[in-house]
Structure 1
Amino acid sequence: MARIARLTYYPVKACAGTDVPSAEVTPAGLAHDRVFQLVAPDGGVLTQRPHPVLAAVRPRVLGDRLALSAPGRDDVVFPIRLDGPRRPASTYGWQGDGVRQGDEADEWFSDLLGRPAELIRIAPGHDRVTGGHTPGTAAFADGHALLIASESSLDSLNERIAAGQGEPVPMDRFRPNIVLAGWAEPHREDETRELSAGTAKFGYAQQCVRCTVPMIDQETGAKAGPEPIRTLATYRRGPDGGVVFGVQAAVLRPGQVAVGDEVIVHSWAGPSPSTAAAEPPFTATARRPAESV
């Protein structure tokens, strides 16, 4: 039996997450998840990829206000603007606009990044369709409403990393919304198609192809590579060759979820291509994979 071990929402895309004991599930994912994002003057999204320092920014939603803190920076708290002046915005295939949150937020982030940056929030009537196996919607997440990963998947990865004389990585490197515990086999999440927890229901969209963000220390905002991508690349490849870990999902039924909730899988697929191609479980006595990147 699987259960929810951790729930995390990320108020500002690319910044730190907030762990919660329970959460509302909206059609676009956990409440408050990636409802804000940073954009350049041309509307292009700003993320950890070129700006790893964003990982150390701690946003907090305080009712109708947003608080921001970061090491070495003065904290700032400002009212959340639900509507107002708009800024064109894009998020990996989606084009639209967002509500500017004001000069105070823009100046704080611009000073942090050393470049012009504007903080925006999803606008009223935000309309975004996500694809994959199960269509849905999302706020400013890269592709889908939810990212789900299991503790057994991380344990298997860290066993391989340790056997290769590397340092194990924490789950926050992958920035999931829902972490599952209780499955003995790694990557079982890849094989789900419909699952529910609490009063909410989810549908598998696709495996999550990983970029360079998992090589950034999410506590300090410093680049810490090459793990876990180097080891994942030796045994976790999707059909298009991308390195995969965890799955993205759409919301089939909004509701409430909590840490400890049982997760019921209503339908399964066969093993995913990368799971089926994986080597037997890796142990300290097994050979070290030859491939590295």
Structure 2
Amino acid sequence: MKLAGISFYPVKSTAGHEVTEAEVQPWGLAGDRRYLITDERGAVLTARQEPRLLACVPVLDGGVLTLTGPHAEPLTVVPTAAMSTVHMGGVAVEVTDCGDAAAAWLSGLAGRPVRLKWLDDPTRRPVNPLYGRPDDRVSLADAFPLLLTTTASLARLNDWIAETALELGEEPRALPMRRFRPNVVIDGVAEPFAEDEWKRLRIGEVEFRVTKGCDRCVLTTVDTETYRKGKEPLRTLARHRKREGKVWFGINLIPDLVPGTFGRIAQGDPVVLL
């Protein structure tokens, strides 16, 4: 098995970037989901509610974030000193406001008042203690530092989607991996969904613990080109991958790093189960 793809998402629920190598930090890939968007009430806003957020392409250069999109000129983000609180998974997290200019830029894209927030200190948010250790941390991802998927599982899912479409007289359409927004994609897995049983693995020089499978939401149904919601993959996952009232695709990881240390991964790195 080998590492076939690496992606990170500077702003939660906006466009991501595929890279050939990345630094792995205890709370996730460097630059991954350190920013998020809140609505007029201060609640976290995602592309589940506003799919047009996926049209925002955030670019990180030397730690400086620039927002690009189809509706306005690029904007360089300048965080302020103002702090506020967002709630994620029942945990209150202190974040820094990124100013009125960023708020206006994103509000123009979303079509409603929103603000951009920055997690200036990534050690601030703990992982759910049911699945992690006391010193485990996560940035602004939904729950865990990294999400892993495999090409074998996507191929099987796309076969199932084609079967469903033919049964219903619809045009089959394979889904790209970016619908699932993984951080790492593994190739060469012998069986689809073999990752369901993994407990520990090493990618290149970095070891990871598997916490749990990833239950999927309506965001996976949003076409990343048209920003319209469809029925897949949730319709087909519900036929083949439903348990505990949820549907599943991919697994969540926590890097097994000594506090204060980092690692690196690169495309082509060997993947070894431990």
Q: How much has 1:139 moved relative to structure 2?
A: 0.7
Q: Cα offset for 1:126?
A: 4.2
**What is the Cα deviation at residue 218 of structure 1?**
1.8
Q: How far apart in 1 are the matches of 2:248 and 2:32?
A: 22
CA contact (8 A) 1:64 1:79 kept: no
Q: Give the Cα–Cα distance (whole angstroms) in 2 for the partners of residues 94 and 251 of structure 1.
A: 21
Q: After superposition, where does 1:91-130 map in structure 2 within 5 Å?
A: 91-124=88-121, 126-130=123-127
Q: Is 1:77 the equivalent of 2:75?
A: yes
Q: CA deviation at 1:212?
A: 0.4
1:192 match:
198
Task: Name 1:142's counterpart in structure 2.
Answer: 142
Letter matched to residue 51 of structure 1? E
What amino acid sits opposite 1:230 in the alignment?
R
Matched, 1:201 2:224: no
The aligned counterpart of 1:257 is 265
Residue pairs, 1:225-236, within 5 angstroms: 225-236=230-241
- Distance in 2 (alpha carbons) for counterparts of 1:236 and 1:75: 43
**Alignment partner of 2:127: what SS?**
coil
Equivalent position amino acid for 1:259 in 2: Q
* Structure 2 portions without partners, runs of 5+: 166-171
Alignment deviations for residues 144-199 of structure 1 (CA, whole Å, 9 cap, x no partner): 00100000000000011112223111111110000000012011221111111122
**TM-score using structure 2 length:** 0.91
Alignment identity in percent?
36
**Whole-Å Cα distance in 2 between the matches of residues 260 and 27 of structure 1?**
22
Does the C-alpha gap of structure 1 residues 125 and 70 become closer, same or farther in structure 2, counting only changes over 3 Å?
closer
Amino acid at match of 1:178: V
1:77-100, Cα deviation, whole Å (9 max, x unpaired): 31453x621122122322122111
**TM-score between both structures, scaled by the size of structure 1:** 0.85
Distance in structure 2 (CA, Å) of the matches to 1:168 and 1:138: 32
Q: Secondary structure at the match of 1:128?
A: coil
Separation (CA, whole Å) in 2 of partners of 1:64 and 1:32? 8
| C-alpha displacement of 1:118 | 0.8
* 1:8-87 matches, cutoff 5 A: 8-71=7-70, 73-81=71-79, 84-87=81-84
Corresponding letter in the other structure for 1:260:
G
Q: Distance in 2 between matches of 1:174 and 1:122?
A: 23
1:221 offset after TM fit, Å? 2.1
Separation (CA, whole Å) in 2 of partners of 1:36 and 1:88: 13
- Unaligned 5+ segments in structure 1 are 267-293
Q: Give the secondary-structure state (helix, strand or coil) at the position aligned to 1:226.
A: coil
Match of residue 280 from structure 1:
none
* SS of residue matched to 2:52: helix
| 1:180 counterpart SS class | strand
Cα distance in 1 for partners of 2:132, 2:35 equals 24
Letter in 1 for 2:248: V
Q: Distance in 1 between matches of 2:111 and 2:161?
A: 35
Equivalences, count: 261
Task: Return the letter of the residue paired with 2:253.
Answer: A
Equivalent position SS for 2:209: strand
Where 1:25 maps in the other structure, the secondary structure is strand
Give, in whole Å, the separation in 2 of the partners of 1:91 and 1:69. Answer: 26
Cα RMSD between the aligned structures?
1.5
CA distance in 2, matches of 1:125, 1:197: 23
Deviation at 1:65, TM superposition (A): 2.0
Helix, strand or coil: the match of 1:144? coil
Q: Identify which range, 85-94 or 198-207, moves more after superposition.
A: 85-94
Offset at 1:125?
6.3
SS in 1 for 2:253: strand
